[in-house]
Every structure is written in structure tokens, then in C-alpha cells.
Amino acid sequence: MHRFKKVGHFASYCRCVASTRESNGKKKGEGNKKAGNKYLSWVFSEAAHFAVRYDARIKAFYERKRQKRNGIVAIRAVAHKLARAVYYMLKEQIPFDVNRAFG
């Protein structure tokens, strides 16, 4: 985890954030969609699906997001939160706490 200075860098490496590039509300190129680890992207998406299925608090977060956007965006938001949680778990050597991640 020392490779990543901030949690956002880890989330970006896991492809859990958008790769849009904008300036003043204008699109500036396509971005770098394939940067990062495609396997981590897949793993966090799968973990998000299982988390939504088996945890009530995560499911509530997912449903709030899904009401505003579509299901794909909502599941990616859950995956992003899980990636952030994993970063802090590995950096601080602490167990996963759903209250801290989705509270």
C-alpha cells in the first residue's frame, strides 16, 4: 500500500473511478480507460454484488444510489467504497468494519 500516496490513487488503479478529463465543463480527450488493473476492477464488482446481496446496510446504500441513477452506476459506487475500505484495511492492518465503510 506504500505504492499509493492516497486512497484515490488506489481506487483509480482498481478502475473504480471514471477516467473522464474535463476542463471548464468541456471534454478534453477520451481519458485513459484501460489504465489500472482489470482484474481488481472485476473483483471489486463481484464483491459489490455479493455485498449487496448479503448485507442490509450495503443494500440500503445501493438502493439509494440506484434511485438516482441506474443499477450499473450504483454497483460501481459500492465497488468504489469497497476499494477504499480495502486500502485502509491493508494500510492500517485493521479488519473490515461495515459501519465505518457504509455508515
Greater model confidence, 36 or 84: 84
Query: Percent of the chain having pLDDT more than 90?
Result: 71
Which helix (DSSP H) or strand (DSSP E) does residue 51 occupy? helix 38-54
Give me 91's grid cell: 494500510
- 66-80-13 Cα angle (round to 5): 145
- pLDDT tens digits, 41-80: 999 999 999 999 999 999 999 999 999 999 999 999 999 9
Give me 22's grid cell: 474535463
What's this model's pTM, rounded to 2 decimal places?
0.86
